[in-house]
């Protein structure tokens, strides 16, 4: 009977994971996603990694709705080009480029310290990589490189900007179908480790491939969205919401650095599929835009959840209890060198 109960519990998770895979293949042939949209005049949005791909799509559509959008990017010239492209499509858009390198805690702290542009209504964590630079397993802060770039700097930035979030702010994480392949083992250490690709936490015990690390990072984003929503729920008068979402297989440059030296079969297959049936950036960012702006019950009643194609999906993190989320929060805080509590 226990076995049957366990099977019933994970069937929706498996179903939605399989649906996500199917959508990757047929995404361009599905009905177009149409976020409701709203007047965002007077609202402020920060989008990390906004110079291309999903981040660019988020920034463009939020600007079209009237928001003042800050493109937080590592590469200044690419950010400026993205600004020009947005202004070409949306003349009069309020766009500013800012420097943010998520591989460096120093850069994250400088960004937060220098940001003095009023309450933040939308904080979209999108910056990330799928492949570590050749020979660079660790960041300048001594942490596994992809873990810091894709996830941990988002955790730190949210902490640093929390006091600047508006009462009804939305915090959005661009996750991935790859999160379904991630697994955060129950026995992970809660103490910080440096210069170590630690089995069981930011990589699985059996492998430390690019695809494995990527899946772990994307799973952490979904877990953080759930934990952050629980935190928001304790804040008196707060209507803040946090979400993670799967953009689909989008035509972007996230796999552009794939090379023989960093060969990963799973990512190689994805790159080929991306070229063949990838979505345009508007469709890839549509779910994120909806989560950032919609007042529909189908969104606001599901804070902390994971979405795909503008629908809430069952995910492994749905089963994460308070104890596990608290242990993750403690570990992430230690890795960032902060003490983030109520």
Q: What is the Cα–Cα distance from 52 to 73, expressed in whole angstroms?
A: 10
Q: How far apart are CA 260 and CA 83, in angstroms?
A: 33
Structure tokens at 108: 């994250």
Q: Which of 70, 145, 147, 214 is catalytic?
A: 214
Question: Residue 12: its pLDDT value, please?
Answer: 75
The pLDDT assigned to 210 comes to: 81
Minimal CA–CA distance to 48: which of 130, 141, 128?
Answer: 128
Q: Any bridge partners for residue 95, and if so which?
A: 69
Q: What is the pLDDT of residue 37?
A: 84
Fold of 38-336: Rossmann fold (3.40.50)
Partner residues linked to 243 by β-bridges: 172
Check residue 205 and give its pLDDT: 60
Q: What is the pLDDT of residue 8?
A: 47
Cβ-based burial of 286 (10 A; exposed 0-12, middle 13-18, buried ≥19): buried
Which tokens in the block code for residue 232? Answer: 């928001």
Three-state secondary-structure class, residue 283: helix
**Given this model, what pLDDT does residue 261 score?**
45
Instruction: Provide the pLDDT for residue 1.
Output: 36
pLDDT at 5: 40
Could you tell me the pTM of the whole model? 0.90
> What pLDDT is stored for residue 47 in this prediction?
99
Residue 203, SS3 per DSSP: strand
What's the gap between Cα 248 and its chain centre?
13
Partnered with residue 170 across adjacent β-strands are 122, 241
- How far out from the chain centre does Cα 147 lie? 12
Token digits of residue 30: 């599905």
The per-residue pLDDT for 207 is 60
pLDDT at residue 2, rounded to an integer: 41
pLDDT at position 26 is 73
Averages of pLDDT over each 10 residues, the chain, 342 residues:
43 73 72 93 98 96 98 98 98 98 98 95 96 85 94 98 97 94 82 75 68 90 98 92 92 56 60 66 96 98 97 95 95 95 74
What's the pLDDT score for residue 311? Answer: 96
Q: What is the dihedral of CA 254, 255, 260, 263, to 10 degrees?
A: 100
- Extract the tokens encoding 38: 């709203």
320 catalytic? Reply is no
Of 19, 28, 37, 16, the closest CA to residue 299 belongs to 37
The predicted pLDDT at position 271 comes to 65
pLDDT at 168: 97
Residues ≥6 apart with Cβ < 8 Å to 292: 45, 58, 62, 122, 124, 170, 172
CB crowding 171-192: b at 16 or more within 10 Å, else e? bbbbbbbbbbbbebeeebeeee
DSSP-derived pairing of the beta strands 306-308 and 311-313: antiparallel
First to last CA, the chain: 41
Q: Which DSSP helix (H) or strand (E) runs through 99? A: strand 94-99
Rounded CA gap, 217 and 152, in Å? 9
The set of residues, in sequence order, having a beta carbon less than 8 Å from that of 256 and lying 6+ positions away, is none
Question: Which pLDDT does position 249 carry in this prediction?
Answer: 80
């Amino acid at each position: 009977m226990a076995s049957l109960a366990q099977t019933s519990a994970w069937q929706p998770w498996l179903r939605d994971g399989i649906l996500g895979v199917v959508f990757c293949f047929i995404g361009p042939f599905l009905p177009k996603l149409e976020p409701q949209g709203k007047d965002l005049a007077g609202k402020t949005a920060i989008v990390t990694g906004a110079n291309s791909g999903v981040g660019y799509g988020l920034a463009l559509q939020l600007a079209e709705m009237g928001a003042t959008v800050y493109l937080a990017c590592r590469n200044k010239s690419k950010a400026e080009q993205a600004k020009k492209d947005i202004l070409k499509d949306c003349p009069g858009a309020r766009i500013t480029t800012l420097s943010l390198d998520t591989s460096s805690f120093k850069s994250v702290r400088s960004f937060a310290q220098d940001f003095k542009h009023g309450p933040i209504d939308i904080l979209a964590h999108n910056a990330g990589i799928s492949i570590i630079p050749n020979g660079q397993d660790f960041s300048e802060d001594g942490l596994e490189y992809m873990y810091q770039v894709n996830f941990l700097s988002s955790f730190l930035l949210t902490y640093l900007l929390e006091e600047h979030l508006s009462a009804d702010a939305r915090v959005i994480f661009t996750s991935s179908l790859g999160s379904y392949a991630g697994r955060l083992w129950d026995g992970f250490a809660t103490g910080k480790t440096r210069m170590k690709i630690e089995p069981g936490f930011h990589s699985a015990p059996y492998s430390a491939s690019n695809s494995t690390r990527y899946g772990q990072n994307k799973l952490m984003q979904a877990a953080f969205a759930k934990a952050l929503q629980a935190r928001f729920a304790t804040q008196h008068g707060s209507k803040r919401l946090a979400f993670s979402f799967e953009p689909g297989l989008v035509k972007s440059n996230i796999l552009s650095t794939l090379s023989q030296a960093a060969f990963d079969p799973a990512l190689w297959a994805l790159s080929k599929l991306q070229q063949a049936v990838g979505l345009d950036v508007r469709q890839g960012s549509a779910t994120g835009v909806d989560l950032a702006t919609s007042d529909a019950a189908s969104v606001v009643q599901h804070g902390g959840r994971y979405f795909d194609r503008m629908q809430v999906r069952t995910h492994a993190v749905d089963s994460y209890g308070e104890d596990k989320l608290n242990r993750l929060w403690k570990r992430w805080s230690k890795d960032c060198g902060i003490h983030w509590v109520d």
